[in-house]
Chains A and B, each alone.
Chain A
Amino acid sequence: MSLLEIESLDVRYGDFQALFGVSLAVAENAALALVGANGAGKTTLLRTVAGAHPPAGGRIRFDGADITAMPPHQRVRVGIALVPEGRRLFASLTAEENIRVGAIQAGPHAWSLPRLYEVFPLIARCRHRRAGLLSGGEQQAVAIARALASGPRLLLLDEISLGLAPAVVDALYDTLAELRAAGTALVLVEQDLDRAQGACQDLVCLLEGRVVLAAPAGAVARADVVAAYFGTAS
């Protein structure tokens, strides 16, 4: 059984429809890469799963239970955590306070502060500094730690490599591999196709709010993904 199942999801912002009948599934402990051009609906999809937008149609199931109408804090409680696009840290709070806010709905598998500092030595060094003053890499690490503090079974990561130096991104992806090993399922929005294919076994491409390609990441040819990405496939 899949951990996350999305069935023909429609999401609208007023008159504008962002997602059209999107369906996908993520198995327990699996990693799914979500790719697509800007405006394809990737962020909307992650935010809808996290509970930010009530869908206009379709269903979301998590661990077998229908969570379509569940409020966001309960979704965190059952094990869904979002690392939002642009990090979105609470700027006036320190790094550690940000993480502790993330632990408000901590479930049984919550990561403790010492364990998080072990995985992210970067944060341990700046834990008492205001989040607004941290470097981009530090901020991204705190954003991931804040999500892990709730003990998620499914981690939704929205463009974590945006604006970061390649070495920092390498370190973050090493951490993601550790998370996978610890049993956390991932949905990863990533612009860098090589990284996405390297980190995930499944790949879904969105185009203008619709799924245009869903395949095992290792088996799909780069040209096919590019064609799906730009909508030039026949």
Chain B
Amino acid sequence: MTWLNAALQGILLGGEYALVACGLSLTFGVMRLVNLAHGDFAVCGAYLALVLSASLGMPAWYTLPLLLPIAFAAGVALHLAVLSRSLRGGVLAPVLVTFGLSVVIENLLLEGASANTRSLDGGALSLASIEIGDHIVISWLRLTGLLVALLVLGGLQALLSHTSWGRSVRATSDDLDTARLVGVRVRPVFATVAGVAVATAALAGVFLGLISAFDPLAGGTVLIFAFEAVVIGGLGSLWGTLVGGVALGLTQQLIGQWNSQYAVLAVHVLFLVVLAVRPQGMFAAASSPVALPGTE
């Protein structure tokens, strides 16, 4: 039963990883932007929730309707001001620019919020749990986290599949040059994608803060797990990202059940194995950029 409990915890944790990773998957899939500051955006989201909930005197949950639009707007502004320029500078420029952003954000947070470890107050939900038998305990908070991740991924998938915005995003992802020539305005498409990515990162950061703790330098770890979820799942597939996140969470919890020393190591080993055996990921979209056949 303890193993079953570990597996359930792994799945719940995986939802959290997938939520961080989906923004990363989206920006890479559409804009070919490797965003090394993505984890720091999540941490910024957690700090923003901390500030908002302290100043408004309400639990972190209730700040979301304010926090998500702010994060979306910040993503759009960041794209228009910084990322769009860096994308014009070749393959390496965005990597360097987002790495620089990451350093700047971490140091600003250290300066402004000190190095103390913080966590967010989730109100009554933080402590509530469902107990099944003696060994299975499911925290409502983690369950909510998984459901929110499913909702976000499903919502994004629906937007991509069924709206004009989604068609423009997919067309741009398939062939940027042709999308431009048939009338897609690429700048607003990229800017909204960046906005969605930052908003989902911030949302994931809030859950990070509610479930565990964060400090100004937590972004790096968040980024590594997000990257691994994206690569395991396959680029360009949101459901693949979910599976990737769950694979990471399961590995971490099951190995941790055996020996907690090796839990995180096992996650990275799983990532390396997938990269070696199936570098396109488990669920690479049929037309991922790597697999796209020549046009002639």
Interface residues on B, range: 20 to 34
The answer to whether A195 has its CB under 8 Å from any CB of chain B is: no
Question: Contact between A105 and B175 (Cβ–Cβ < 8 Å)?
Answer: no
CB-CB contacts below 8 Å: A141-156 with B: 146-147, 150
User: CA A47 – CA B178 in complex, angstroms?
Assistant: 10
The answer to whether A101 has its CB under 8 Å from any CB of chain B is: yes
The 8 A CB mask of A56-82 against B (1 = contact, 0 = none) is: 000000000000000011001100011
Name A76's closest neighbour in chain B (CB-CB).
Answer: B183
Note all chain B residues with C-beta closer than 8 A to A100: 164, 167
Question: Contact between A92 and B170 (Cβ–Cβ < 8 Å)?
Answer: yes
Note all chain B residues with C-beta closer than 8 A to A105: 183
Question: Contact between B295 and A132 (Cβ–Cβ < 8 Å)?
Answer: no
Question: Contact between B182 and A147 (Cβ–Cβ < 8 Å)?
Answer: yes
Question: Contact between B285 and A104 (Cβ–Cβ < 8 Å)?
Answer: no
Question: Contact between B286 and A132 (Cβ–Cβ < 8 Å)?
Answer: yes
Name B287's closest neighbour in chain A (CB-CB).
Answer: A92
The 8 A CB mask of B262-296 against A (1 = contact, 0 = none) is: 00000000000000000000000111000011011
Tell me which of A8-16, A83-91, A169-177, A206-214 binds B: A83-91
Name A82's closest neighbour in chain B (CB-CB).
Answer: B181
User: CA A105 – CA B181 in complex, angstroms?
Assistant: 11
Q: Chain A at the B interface: mostly helix, strand, loop or mixed? A: mixed
Note all chain A residues with C-beta closer than 8 A to B183: 72-73, 76-77, 101-102, 104-105, 150
Question: Contact between B292 and A76 (Cβ–Cβ < 8 Å)?
Answer: no
Question: Contact between B287 and A84 (Cβ–Cβ < 8 Å)?
Answer: no
User: CA A130 – CA B180 in complex, angstroms?
Assistant: 20
The answer to whether B77 has its CB under 8 Å from any CB of chain A is: no
With A101-B167, A101-B171 known as contacts, the answer to whether A91 contacts B182 (CB < 8 A) is: no
Question: Contact between B174 and A90 (Cβ–Cβ < 8 Å)?
Answer: yes
Name B182's closest neighbour in chain A (CB-CB).
Answer: A102
Question: Contact between B295 and A88 (Cβ–Cβ < 8 Å)?
Answer: yes
The answer to whether B179 has its CB under 8 Å from any CB of chain A is: yes
User: CA A93 – CA B286 in complex, angstroms?
Assistant: 11
Note all chain B residues with C-beta closer than 8 A to A150: 182-183
Give the shortest distance, in Å, between B118 (CB) and chain A (any CB): 42
User: CA A130 – CA B174 in complex, angstroms?
Assistant: 12
The answer to whether A34 has its CB under 8 Å from any CB of chain B is: no
The answer to whether B184 has its CB under 8 Å from any CB of chain A is: yes
Question: Contact between A51 and B181 (Cβ–Cβ < 8 Å)?
Answer: yes
Name A105's closest neighbour in chain B (CB-CB).
Answer: B183
Note all chain A residues with C-beta closer than 8 A to B167: 93, 97, 100-101
Note all chain A residues with C-beta closer than 8 A to B173: 92
User: CA A104 – CA B292 in complex, angstroms?
Assistant: 24
CB-CB contacts below 8 Å: B174-210 with A: 174-175, 177-185
Question: Contact between B286 and A92 (Cβ–Cβ < 8 Å)?
Answer: yes
The answer to whether B27 has its CB under 8 Å from any CB of chain A is: no
Name B161's closest neighbour in chain A (CB-CB).
Answer: A97
User: CA A150 – CA B184 in complex, angstroms?
Assistant: 11
User: CA A100 – CA B243 in complex, angstroms?
Assistant: 31
Question: Contact between B182 and A82 (Cβ–Cβ < 8 Å)?
Answer: yes
User: CA A150 – CA B182 in complex, angstroms?
Assistant: 8
The answer to whether A52 has its CB under 8 Å from any CB of chain B is: yes
Note all chain A residues with C-beta closer than 8 A to B295: 86-88
User: CA A101 – CA B295 in complex, angstroms?
Assistant: 18
Q: In the complex, which of the residues B164, B184, B285 has the most CB atoms of chain A within 10 Å of its own CB atom?
A: B184
A-B contact pairs, 28 of them (CB 8 A): A51-B180, A52-B177, A52-B181, A73-B180, A73-B185, A76-B181, A76-B183, A77-B183, A86-B295, A87-B295, A88-B178, A90-B171, A91-B287, A91-B292, A91-B293, A92-B285, A92-B287, A93-B171, A100-B164, A100-B167, A101-B184, A102-B182, A102-B183, A104-B164, A104-B182, A130-B286, A132-B292, A132-B293
B residues sitting closer than 8 Å to A (CB atoms) are 164, 167-168, 170-171, 173-175, 177-185, 285-287, 292-293, 295-296
